[in-house]
Structure 1
Amino acid sequence: MDRGFLFADGIYEVTAVLDGRLVDSASHLARFQRSAEALAIAFPWPVDAIEAMERELIARNGMEEGTVYLQITRGVAERDFLSEPDSPTFVAFTQPKRLIDNPAADTGIKVVSLPDIRWARRDIKSVMLLAQVLAKREAAARGAQEAWMIEDGFVTEGASSTAWIVTTDGTLVTRPNSRAILPGCTRAAVEALGLAEGLRIEERAFTLTEAQSAREAMVTSASTFVLPVVMIDDRPVGDGRPGPIAAKLRGLYIAAARNSAT
């Protein structure tokens, strides 16, 4: 009778682990709390207690590299749209994963474009991920590793990532935060690193056509860091190989993550 199971009435968060430490932990926990508040779901413990629990999970599992997954649902109650459980349900687990030595960083990934059929509050990291599941399955069936969602002719974001392009004049472009996209924690860190390096960055929407004619394209997420996109809908991006800006940002992010992980 958990409302997460019955209604997808819950939220989640994923944080990377490098060298046994949490990456961008403060940003992820802040977003986790914002998502809970947006759905009026009671946060089970203070943020610092949840972070301590994450570290305990990492230690108990002896995990050096991977992710920690957190989930809160409204809780258990008889099935009714207006039921109010006594307390939320909290679940957490670790998943080992190769984050640094990812072959896709050298080869790049392919993406396909699909209509964005998700709900309107994409800024909430909801467990309601059926549209993303369908997009990922369609991408895999077409030999791609990610799907870029299209709404009103513009790219919103990836099924599980933030979408970026590099224009012909070297400007890094990503869509501004709004209810249309998830405010990416890795996105924010990469943007700050890019600005510190003197890169020109624009927050604006871009079309699929612009993305296909871009110099470079890339995705960012907690579980992939920065990965170059070399093909969109069977059309090569740039020369069809990973570009230098994506490689530079990936290197900068990994170095910063290792330096600041807690």
Structure 2
Amino acid sequence: MTARDPKAKLIADEMERRGYPVDWLSWGSFTTDVKGRKVMFRGVTSELTTQVAASIAFRKGETNRLLAAAGLSIPEFKTFTATMGEQAMKYAAETIGWPVVVKPDLSPGAGAGVMVNVGEGEFTEAFRVALSMSHRALVQAMVSGQEARFLVIGDKCVSVLRKTIDPVTGKPIDESHEGITSQVHPFYKREAERAVAAFPGLGVAGLDIIAPDFTTKGDYWILEANSTPDIIAHHDAKDGERFDMAGAIADALEKEIR
């Protein structure tokens, strides 16, 4: 049997369960027929998300500006080109203070090129790595607290996973996600929904948010908006609540096609 992209297969299996035919185009792409309309999927991406919305979500600087314009909380940041190394160092040292986060402005995905807890001694290398993957590097203030992935479909936050962060790399340990949807204060869910509403056409999105305590309304920072979020972790959360993301995506598609 040909291997399939696990995210796409979850959705394809759900479409078939509902009686819609599925025709695989490649390991991660398929078409289906919903109420007489041909629909294409690549991974979790379908007509629920427009190309322009996905393109902007791919660009971290544009994403942050869009979120800030909507009145949402983001860490202070600035983007720099390869010729602006001295300015970037000065910004990190004098404006936001050490340590900082350095990441590619155009995200390769899966945290590639992202370096956290960057001090003065590591900054030049972190800046170089980010620029090896993008024409601009984003330098961002470090924020602390719990990190969670909020998954929004349409205009509703449907699932929240708390991430366990590796203390060495500062990056999430994928297999340690915990479903905490019912524990999260409604304030944070509303802010995630407002963030997606700031992206017209972003029908399925994952928001990475940090807050001191998600059970109580308070400060928070949105770190990222992802137009191709991992849905498997929501289906198979190691601990806590699980959520049928493939079913929710199929529901949204059926609602869209009437």
Fold shared per TM-score above 0.5: no
Q: TM-score, normalised by structure 2?
A: 0.28
Q: TM-score, normalised by structure 1?
A: 0.27
